[in-house]
A and B are shown apart, each in its own frame.
Chain A
């Protein structure tokens, strides 16, 4: 089959959940099909400034065609239109403008889809919230498979999305909660859908603790891994953790690894590491007491699957339906609704290591059942043939 994958940014040095999701699927599809990724020249997700040269390159078996961003994102204008749209009083024009301001603004990509989209048998669109999907998908709706990576954030309730969600030929969802969320928002036909998720490779040999010692990581620790920003729930985590009553004999440290876009308060038991090497990342994951996922908005959480892959239990924000659903389905951790539950759940994981070990092992078994690449790709192929 001749397949297209449309994504807002793409590259080996691009981090981000939906981008990694697209890359993983595109590379595996390219083993059997002719795959072209259509994307922007941006690398930075805040400004969308052009960083890659426009035009066609090959990355392994995948052909990548990049289109220039017409103008970078103006964060003030984006914020202003967000207030209007999320205030619940926006016109259809305001809502369309939100998608333009969110970007990346790549009109040439949309034109290319309009002119050449029919040359593809199927086109997978990753993440509905970007200009690329919102304006690109309607031009090739009859062959479009949407991988929405939708979260329960205020955007999902924008009225303009109700007809949009009925357009694609089919859907690949990350979780049953995401499927329900989108189904609830559709105003027309319900396209066929499969719940697929992201593939995870089995972990190699368990890394030793030497990278932790080199980085001065204080054990035992709970781990936050990812971008440190309020949208990811880090403001709440940084309020909750310092108020957790620490036992004097075995205090626990919160280790935060990832780029920070918000201040991290100085605290004896909070250890920010910044961006870490892949070696240290693996060691951090393998030796944590638990992974904390405080995000209120997730469509899957790849880092949760990675922690389970290492047999590490999770402590997740129970107000995020996806995270709570994943933890319940996998029996792989605990969840919390507020600071007191956070503290009590963390206390339980610390006080009862055998329970924590079992939860982690169950999480790993869940990943083995649902998230290995052969399982994932079999479902993707089934959707392409529908």
Chain B
């Protein structure tokens, strides 16, 4: 049995591990998937910040200095680009993931996406207001 060639239905055409570089839409898909890595990096960065704040002013100042180093800054700028890609693609997909009905009629997908972008703007303003402590 083992000497027999595998039946045709078991044949899997070998695919290059870099198949996602071949088309723009595939590349965008892969970049969107990779954005999660930068979301995880942000959690690490946030926890380092909170830890430094709890440890006292000296630790907080050295965290600020460290965050100004070229490689940390560069990493955070790249992370920001990926996180923005995540947010924009996420809110644009929201109408496909949730169908909202009002008075028996389906809310237009554009309104669902617009509501998400509006919520994003409000959430960002509230966070900036709390963090900066200034109106």
A and B pair up: no
- B binding-site residues for A, Cβ under 8 Å: none
- A binding-site residues for B, Cβ under 8 Å: none
